[in-house]
Structure 1
């Protein structure tokens, strides 16, 4: 039973006309009729009835219509996957929130690249809101954002959880546990408003009736790395994603400061369009496999 016969049968079932399908498929009507006759013989069932309205499906034909669509879709997916396999150096475009892209994805990409050597991963960094817009405009295959998407036309999968933590230099003489009120009196290094973690932090403290103007901000910086460098050499504090300071905490360059009644956990989500290709879906499954591999440190 050739797949072409099933595809042509499905077109006839939709159009209810052999002549229309013959014309659109660039095949003669007698040849198409003969092909359908052979299809009926192969399944030992009559599939069509002719009427004044054109072609009508028999009960067997209606069953065949359902299966022919499924077979056709499976065949199309097969061809797409085989074509993807033939392509060397296929490019996967990834747009990521800056903090996630710098501190979360490199190790994951390294592991995926090892399993999928024919793919090249093109990673671009930007704020989460811009990532979402790029995905909606189909300028990228996969996006990583902090928090959930606001667009219900996009699919969102939780990649992992992270949290905002308070950190200071290991040499800073500060209590291991302080209140949020005490935080207001200590010089604070803050990330610029462009950072998604800063947005989450501002929103969180506003719910506790604290504004950013109440904070003792000594520097506003456009880089997490710059923030950590200044932090290590001074008597200041900073609220940063745990993902971005995990390495320095493990190496005893920075220390965690517990803040009473402060718990700012958030999701890192992977977003993509609904009409993704099979190859993109394959890549997504690999990302989800490595949800716990966000950093290359223990």
Structure 2
């Protein structure tokens, strides 16, 4: 059943007059009459009866009128939803997250969901190897990793850079300082966390320690920073963690900045398939870019100017 023909029928039904309906539709009266006759032939029922003032719907016309309005609303909704999906404004975004990385994304996810309320966001708990496999298998759209990955088919979008901090047991005398130099923890056992493809955070920590003149004594090697901080609280040693992890309020742990010059920072990255051209992915990447300090500064200057 042709939607244009249904639209013409609804106009005639609402106006109860062929002439007024033709003017409303911005067409001449003969083609409109012809369309109504063709619709009646297609359905096999008379839809209108002529009156002195115009036309009146038959019982069959009244039934079609109710159904036609619903169909036109559904068609308009389908067009709008399809258009929004094509623009990346509706659909589904599957995200792979691991461990304390969840601490780094609440504001990003809140902003994205606020900008695109019709996109369903699904978060999957996956370690780094699982994220990569899910990306290759197209089961997730994005994942997150502290350091950029140089892997075939994988692209990186920096979410932000953040300082590296030292997690100390609350009984450690270094807690009395406002910041701690790397060489000051040379004699402390270290809890490190790293998983996934190399280079990873463990490699970065080893490099920093070697540059400061010592090789770290590894007390424990764990998969995520939350476990590392818990072990620091239990007295296993110290740990170097991104500043985001300092949001954890775990009794027995104190976080201090590193007294290094230049400051030691680590990049937090969104990873995705390089060949993924989906509008939803592009919308998510644009949200990341809009939240960077330089982008926010430009927006603030534009508003104040």
Bin the TM-score by the shorter chain: 0.5 to 0.7
| Corresponding position: 1:119 with 2:119 | yes
Distance, in Å, in 2 between the alignment partners of 1:159 and 1:189 is 26
- Aligned counterpart, 1:205: 209
1:270 counterpart SS class: strand
> Runs in 1 of length 4+ with deviation above 6 angstroms?
85-89
Tell whether the 8 Å contact from 2:146 to 2:268 is kept in structure 1 after alignment: yes
Distance, in Å, in 1 between the alignment partners of 2:159 and 2:208 is 22
Q: 1:147 to 1:226 in 2, by over 3 A?
A: closer
Q: 1:147 to 1:122 in 2, by over 3 A?
A: same
- Aligned counterpart, 2:106: 106
Tell whether the 8 Å contact from 2:165 to 2:241 is kept in structure 1 after alignment: yes
Question: Could you report, residue by residue, the CA deviation over 1:124-182 in whole angstroms, capped at 9, with x for unpaired residues?
Answer: 34454653454344332223222223146444322111232212144432262555444
Q: 1:125 to 1:260 in 2, by over 3 A?
A: same
Unaligned runs of 5+ in 1: 1-77, 293-298
- Aligned counterpart, 1:160: 160
Q: 1:164 to 1:89 in 2, by over 3 A?
A: same
| 1:1-298 alignment, distance < 5 Å | 82=83, 84=85, 90-96=91-97, 98-100=99-101, 102-128=102-128, 131-151=131-151, 153-174=153-174, 176=177, 179-191=181-193, 193=195, 196-206=200-210, 210=214, 214-232=215-233, 234=235, 236-248=237-249, 254-256=254-256, 258-260=258-260, 263-272=263-272, 273-291=274-292
Question: Could you report, residue by residue, the CA deviation over 1:77-113 in whole angstroms, capped at 9, with x for unpaired residues?
Answer: x99951627999732112245442x211233212322
1:150 counterpart SS class: coil
Distance, in Å, in 2 between the alignment partners of 1:144 and 1:235 is 28
**1:242 Cα deviation (Å)?**
1.2
2:267 counterpart SS class: strand
Tell whether the 8 Å contact from 1:165 to 1:242 is kept in structure 2 after alignment: yes
Q: How many residues align?
A: 210
Q: 1:136 to 1:260 in 2, by over 3 A?
A: same
**1:247 Cα deviation (Å)?**
5.0
Question: Could you report, residue by residue, the CA deviation over 1:217-246 in whole angstroms, capped at 9, with x for unpaired residues?
Answer: 334334433333343464842211111114
Distance, in Å, in 2 between the alignment partners of 1:193 and 1:275 is 25
Q: 1:112 to 1:198 in 2, by over 3 A?
A: same
Distance, in Å, in 1 between the alignment partners of 2:129 and 2:164 is 19
2:270 counterpart SS class: strand
Distance, in Å, in 1 between the alignment partners of 2:135 and 2:186 is 38
**CA RMSD, aligned part only?**
4.0
Distance, in Å, in 2 between the alignment partners of 1:107 and 1:258 is 25
1:156 counterpart SS class: strand
What TM-score do you get using the length of structure 2 for normalisation? 0.54
Tell whether the 8 Å contact from 2:160 to 2:268 is kept in structure 1 after alignment: yes
What TM-score do you get using the length of structure 1 for normalisation? 0.55
